[in-house]
Amino acid sequence: MRRVLIFVFVFVFVQGFVRSFAQEKQSVFNGITIGVDLVGPVQRLASDYGTLEGALKVNLKNTYFPVVEAGLGMADTEDDNTNIKYKTSAPFLRIGLDWNVLKNKEQANRLFVGARYGISMFNYDISGPAITDPVWGGQGDFDISGISSTSHWAELVLGVQVKILKNFHMGWSARYKAKINFGGSDYCNPYYVPGYGTTESSTTWGATYHLIWDLKW
């Protein structure tokens, strides 16, 4: 599955640039769009983890949108069964391409498919109840801080954008995410990767809801 996602990502990215420069009917560069996500902050308020993130897209012929997404992922959680605590707060980055698949490219609304590559380099802390030494029988604290991780993943994206006012859109996206590699340690692999989410499975789903501004010139 990882290889398939990587292939789709590369295919969409390359195809987007090839087609955008192959057509001559309109100006290649049509401005940029800036978006701010609302799902991540709400998720953080309602649970033990969430994100603050924004997106910057380049508009090529109202069809192809190379995109950079960046933000801060946060988690501060405790397992109800083991009482092990996990904490991290770190930036993440995604790069990729969205393709507007609507036939009429000049209309204000957009329906797009896309792909992303994500990366986060972060430290995390784990702690828990005192543990008993299996050899000597004594107890010691279980508290490890500053475990380093570099994690990579891929995403497939489906989304819509709807015009609300002049140069202002609202839009949502659904994302299928797949692990490429999650760095960890001998003590504990990361429970949460900023920008990806929890790592209980090698794949997961995510969503965004953006406020979007079109800046054209």
Nearest in space to 5 (alpha carbons), one of 149, 204, 173: 204
Domain holding 10, by residue range, is: 2-215
Here the CATH number for the domain that contains residue 128 is: 2.40.160.20
pLDDT in tens, the chain (217 residues): 665 555 555 555 555 554 544 454 457 999 999 999 999 999 999 999 999 999 999 999 999 999 999 999 999 999 988 889 999 999 999 999 999 999 999 888 999 999 999 999 999 999 988 777 666 666 767 788 999 999 999 999 999 999 999 899 999 999 999 999 999 887 788 999 999 999 999 999 999 999 999 998 6
Give this prediction's pTM: 0.83
Q: Structurally, how many domains does the chain consist of?
A: 1
